[in-house]
């Protein structure tokens, strides 16, 4: 922080700085602030831009939101979904990255590429494939394990089934990030711990893990944000069913906005999610930040 400050700023620095700042501010204003303000205003209206309805109804959308049972179901599901999927992503990602990075494993590129394959496949297609795999009569999963579970139509298994698909699709992303994190830990840290006679677990727990904190923050925060907005898996695989047992809050927004065209109502829910996201993000920042 307290490095030498240059006394004079060159002309080109000022030009570049002003250029970038102006661009960023203007861009954010046009593409973020204005749409958000419009949507915020819309949340107090009976708003359907498709047939031109725009009628002030005050807090009705928010009241309706809190009274709508599906809203609470979807919020509960979203919390479970986020916690479980993020946890799996972190544990799987870290474990596999640690394994691949181990000196004992050759063909690192091979495993890395394989694990990243699902991540680069379009989600819509992946969801369809898994939907067929979950079929109780001819699906791969029941056949393979000799089960007879109607995964996507069971109030017990439908949400876990959607979560399993999401974990499969995305764990590669975390593997890559954690591998990068491990790569950037200087070798001397390990040498030092080797001299101190620490065992593998201790080395991991007291050296690797704390040094991976920035990566951990990145993985947790970006995953959290993207999962709070997830709706495609539900849209393709269950449409929120059976009943409303796999409704996620972002799917509810999608359903209200682009299936039922209640844009005002959908905006109200979206704003609730925005606040919820902000709170969760700050909370996880605090949690991971305080560990070290």
Q: Which is nearer to another protein, 190 or 261 (CB)?
A: 261
Residue 184: alpha-carbon gap to chain centroid = 24
Within 107-166, the residues that bind another protein by CB under 8 A are 109, 111-126, 128-130, 132-133, 135-138, 140, 143, 148, 150, 152-155
3-class DSSP state of 53? strand
Given 79, 83, 242, 284, the residue binding another protein (CB under 8 A):
242
Q: x-or-dash pattern for another protein, window 91-110, by CB under 8 A?
A: -----x--xx-x-xx---x-
Which of 233, 240, 275, 245 has its CA nearest to residue 255?
240
Given 147, 206, 258, 287, the residue binding another protein (CB under 8 A):
258
Task: Say which residues have a Cβ less than 8 Å from residue 181's Cβ, sequence separation at least 6.
Answer: 97, 211, 212, 214, 215, 216
Given 78, 94, 159, 181, the residue binding another protein (CB under 8 A):
181
The minimum distance between CB 270 and another protein, in angstroms, equals: 4
Within 14-73, the residues that bind another protein by CB under 8 A are 15-17, 20-21, 24-25, 27-28, 30-32, 34-36, 38-39, 42, 46, 48-53, 64, 68-70
Total binding residues for another protein by CB under 8 A? 119
DSSP 88-119: HHHHHHHHHHHHHHSTT---HHHHHHHHHHHH
What whole-number distance in Å separates Cα of residue 97 and Cα of residue 92?
8
In eight-state DSSP terms, residue 52 is T
Q: Which is nearer to another protein, 14 or 192 (CB)?
A: 14
Residue 122 burial (CB count, 10 A): 9
Within 185-214, the residues that bind another protein by CB under 8 A are 213-214
């Amino acid at each position: 922080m307290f490095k030498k400050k240059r006394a004079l700023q060159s002309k080109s620095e000022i030009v570049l700085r002003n250029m970038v700042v102006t661009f960023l501010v203007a861009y954010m204003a046009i593409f973020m602030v204005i749409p958000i303000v419009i949507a915020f205003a819309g949340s107090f209206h009976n708003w359907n831009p498709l047939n031109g309805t725009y009628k002030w109804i005050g807090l009705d959308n928010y009241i309706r939101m809190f009274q709508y049972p599906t809203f609470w179901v979807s919020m509960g599901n979203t919390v479970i979904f986020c916690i479980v999927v993020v946890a799996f992503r972190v544990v799987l990602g870290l474990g596999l990255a640690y394994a691949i990075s181990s000196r004992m494993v050759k063909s690192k590129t091979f495993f890395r590429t394989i694990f990243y394959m699902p991540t680069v496949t379009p989600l819509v297609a992946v969801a369809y494939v898994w939907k067929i795999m979950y079929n109780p009569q001819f699906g791969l999963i029941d056949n393979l394990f000799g089960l007879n579970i109607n995964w996507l139509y069971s109030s017990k298994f439908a949400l876990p089934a959607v979560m399993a698909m999401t974990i499969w699709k995305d764990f590669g992303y975390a593997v890559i990030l954690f591998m990068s994190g491990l790569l950037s830990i200087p070798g001397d840290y390990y040498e030092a711990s080797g001299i101190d006679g620490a065992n593998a677990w201790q080395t991991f727990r007291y050296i690797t893990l704390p040094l991976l904190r920035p990566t951990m923050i990145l993985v947790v925060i970006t995953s959290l944000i993207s999962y709070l907005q997830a709706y495609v898996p539900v849209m393709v695989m269950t449409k929120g069913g059976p009943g409303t047992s796999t409704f996620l809050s972002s799917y509810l927004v999608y359903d209200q906005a682009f299936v039922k065209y209640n844009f005002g109502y959908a905006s109200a829910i979206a704003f609730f999610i925005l606040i919820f996201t902000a709170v969760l993000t700050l909370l996880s920042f605090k949690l991971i930040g305080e560990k070290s």
